[in-house]
């Protein structure tokens, strides 16, 4: 049965703002307190989805979270009406309020880890929402994420939905941003490549000293077990602690892979030569292209600044791939020259397409952050919620929805405005109807 790699991008939420909440994410910290444009951010992401759909790729949409998250604020002791909760939080704990207004669910590479049915022993597509324990503003996402995924990929005949791992640091899980799958063809058994930053139970092992290592080996191992993957076709690799300390908070900031190609920096992993051997061995004799970028070609700081590796690799056919990069890559002469050299080399990358994603990039998320890859065969694609799949009609309807409900300017002081909460809830109520998701948000489920 033919299989496809579908990309499900996150819609940017109405509270997109620059609060600088992500320690270790250089771009996020630099943009703190800047004025954002939620309408433009949503349209930039939507334009990328539509452009890839128009090129024939299977493209889906994942809904944003409910923000401000009044439910979480109430759990933290704030009380009264919704407006009073926001007022008290703004006065007593403004950073907590900022965290509860984050639109970070737009980066759906962190939504979950996904294993296709061709890799799982039970022949189903497996989803585990990421617990994202390292950052409070992201750790509150996974319950709603699980409901969104279950409404997008409904039923248990084709899909298996797992709960998030225990929400403690020992099992810190950042989702597909630290997971890549290699294969010959999408419908064939592949190799699960799990990248972690530290060992949780063995403190003698290397770890970064400046910035946190968000993914643990133990979390990656737990997901591989839960997804019923063949251990002979799973590779675990540790990120280089030095590059984490340079701002590489996820693997997808220093490497990108698709099918039979891995593009990475030469400093991406500890014992990188061994990692490459392990991948070749697990790939079972088929040719695996590994393109390494040297430090002489591009420093780690240049890679972080341009988000070269936070790109998408999309298969055009069996032998050629499209590389989707942010505008920042074209604006950097060294990076753009390197991309032309990669194009000229003997590897599957045959075309580069550039997108303006500056609203997302200013918060530390490029093209790869915005999408969750889901390999589906024809039966699984037919079982997917059709209202979430991009089309000309859906694109037009979502553009009108954004124009109707989104602000074009949002400053930090606006987060305490009760009107923003009411605007967001009105928008999300309509979105659940557009995408046929049902009552996925706390305010819908609790009658708020």
Give Cα 351 to chain centroid, integer Å: 23
Per-residue pLDDT at 29: 59
Concatenated DSSP letters of 359-425: HHHTTT--TTTTEEEEEEEHHHHHHS-GGGB--HHHHHHHHHHHHHH--S-B-GGGGG-HHHHHHHH
Per-residue pLDDT at 364: 77
Rounded (5°) CA angle 218-223-225: 95
Per-residue pLDDT at 23: 55
How many residues are present in the chain?
A: 448
Instruction: Evaluate whether residue 25 is within a structural domain.
Output: yes
**Residue 85: is it exposed, middle or buried by C-beta count within 10 angstroms (0-12/13-18/19+)?**
buried
- Residue 24 scores a pLDDT above 60: no
Phi, psi of 26 (to 5 degrees): -60, -45
Cα gap 405→13, rounded to integer Å: 10
Instruction: Evaluate whether residue 144 is within a structural domain.
Output: yes
Q: Is 250 a known active-site residue?
A: yes
CA dihedral (164, 262, 49, 118) positive or negative: negative
185-233 pLDDT per residue, tens: 999 999 999 999 999 999 999 999 999 999 999 999 999 999 999 999 9
Confidence band for 34, pLDDT divided at 50, 70 and 90: confident
Instruction: Evaluate whether residue 94 is within a structural domain.
Output: no
Give Cα 322 to chain centroid, integer Å: 19
- Residue 31 scores a pLDDT above 70: no
272-297 pLDDT per residue, tens: 999 999 999 999 867 899 999 999 99
Cα gap 344→400, rounded to integer Å: 41
Assign 445 to helix, strand or coil: helix
289-335 pLDDT per residue, tens: 999 999 999 999 999 999 999 999 999 999 999 999 999 999 999 99
Instruction: Evaluate whether residue 177 is within a structural domain.
Output: yes
Q: Which of 100, 101, 264, 369 is catalytic?
A: 369
Per-residue pLDDT at 362: 84
What would the mean pLDDT of 387-400 be, rounded to a whole number? 98
Number of domains in the chain: 1
- Residue 129 scores a pLDDT above 60: yes
Q: At what angle do helices 418-434 and 82-92 cross, to 10 degrees?
A: 120
Cα gap 437→281, rounded to integer Å: 42
Within 234-369, where are the H helices? 241-244, 272-282, 300-306, 327-331, 333-344, 358-361
Range of the domain at 365: 3-67+102-445
H/E element, 138? helix 136-139
Instruction: Evaluate whether residue 179 is within a structural domain.
Output: yes
Assign 3 to helix, strand or coil: strand
Q: Is 369 a known active-site residue?
A: yes
- Residue 179 scores a pLDDT above 80: yes
Instruction: Evaluate whether residue 81 is within a structural domain.
Output: no
Per-residue pLDDT at 448: 45
Q: Which of 66, 174, 218, 380 is catalytic?
A: 174
Assign 29 to helix, strand or coil: helix
- Residue 113 scores a pLDDT above 80: yes
Instruction: Evaluate whether residue 85 is within a structural domain.
Output: no
- Residue 432 scores a pLDDT above 50: yes
Assign 292 to helix, strand or coil: strand
R_g of the chain, CA atoms, integer Å = 21
Rounded (5°) CA angle 116-118-121: 95
47, 442 in Cβ contact below 8 A? no
**Residue 397: is it exposed, middle or buried by C-beta count within 10 angstroms (0-12/13-18/19+)?**
middle
Give the Cβ contact number of residue 56 at 10 Å: 9
Per-residue pLDDT at 182: 97
Per-residue pLDDT at 307: 93
Q: Which of 158, 161, 227, 250 is catalytic?
A: 250
H/E element, 42? helix 38-54
What would the mean pLDDT of 240-264 be, rounded to a whole number? 96
What would the mean pLDDT of 5-10 be, rounded to a whole number? 98
Rounded (5°) CA angle 383-385-388: 140
CATH of the domain at 25: 3.75.10.20
Confidence band for 21, pLDDT divided at 50, 70 and 90: confident
Per-residue pLDDT at 202: 97
Instruction: Evaluate whether residue 425 is within a structural domain.
Output: yes
Rounded (5°) CA angle 432-433-436: 80
């Amino acid at each position: 049965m033919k299989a496809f790699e579908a990309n499900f991008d996150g819609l940017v939420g109405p509270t997109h703002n620059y609060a600088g909440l992500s320690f270790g994410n250089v771009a996020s910290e630099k943009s703190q307190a800047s004025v954002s444009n939620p309408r433009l951010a949503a349209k930039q992401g939507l334009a990328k989805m539509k452009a890839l759909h128009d090129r024939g790729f299977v493209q889906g949409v994942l809904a944003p979270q409910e923000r401000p998250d009044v439910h979480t604020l109430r759990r933290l002791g704030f009380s009264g009406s919704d407006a009073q909760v926001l007022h008290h939080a703004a006065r007593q704990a403004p950073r907590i309020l900022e965290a509860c207004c984050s639109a970070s669910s737009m980066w759906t590479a962190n939504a979950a880890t996904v294993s296709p049915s061709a890799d799982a022993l039970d022949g189903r597509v497996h989803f585990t929402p990421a617990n994202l324990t390292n950052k409070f503003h992201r750790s509150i996402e996974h319950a709603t994420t699980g409901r969104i995924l279950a409404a997008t990929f409904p039923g248990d005949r084709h899909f298996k939905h797992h709960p998030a791992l225990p929400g403690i640091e020992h099992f810190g899980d950042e989702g597909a941003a630290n997971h890549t799958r290699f294969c010959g063809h999408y419908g064939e058994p592949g190799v699960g490549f799990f990248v972690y930053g530290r060992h949780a139970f063995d403190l003698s092992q290397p770890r970064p000293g400046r910035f946190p290592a968000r993914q643990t080996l133990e979390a990656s191992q737990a997901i591989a077990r839960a997804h019923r993957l063949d251990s002979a076709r799973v590779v675990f690799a540790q990120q280089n602690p030095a590059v984490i300390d340079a701002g590489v908070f996820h693997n997808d900031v220093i490497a990108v892979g698709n099918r039979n190609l891995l593009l990475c920096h030469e400093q991406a992993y500890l014992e990188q030569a061994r990692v490459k051997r392990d991948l070749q061995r697990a790939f079972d004799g088929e040719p695996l292209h590994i393109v390494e970028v040297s430090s002489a070609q591009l420093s780690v700081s240049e890679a972080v600044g341009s988000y070269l590796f936070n790109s998408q690799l999309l298969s055009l056919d069996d032998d050629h791939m499209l590389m989707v990069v942010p505008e920042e890559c074209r604006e950097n002469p060294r990076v753009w020259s390197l991309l032309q050299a990669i194009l000229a080399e003997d590897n599957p990358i045959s075309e580069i397409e550039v997108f303006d994603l500056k609203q997302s990039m200013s918060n530390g998320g490029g093209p790869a952050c915005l999408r969750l890859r889901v390999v589906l065969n024809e039966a699984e694609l037919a079982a997917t919620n059709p209202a979430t799949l991009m089309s000309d009609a859906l694109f037009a309807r979502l553009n009108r929805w954004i124009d109707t409900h989104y602000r074009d300017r949002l400053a930090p002081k606006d987060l305490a405005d009760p009107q923003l909460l009411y605007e967001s809830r009105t928008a999300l109520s309509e979105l659940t109807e557009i995408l046929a998701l049902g009552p996925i948000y706390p305010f819908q489920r609790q009658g708020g």
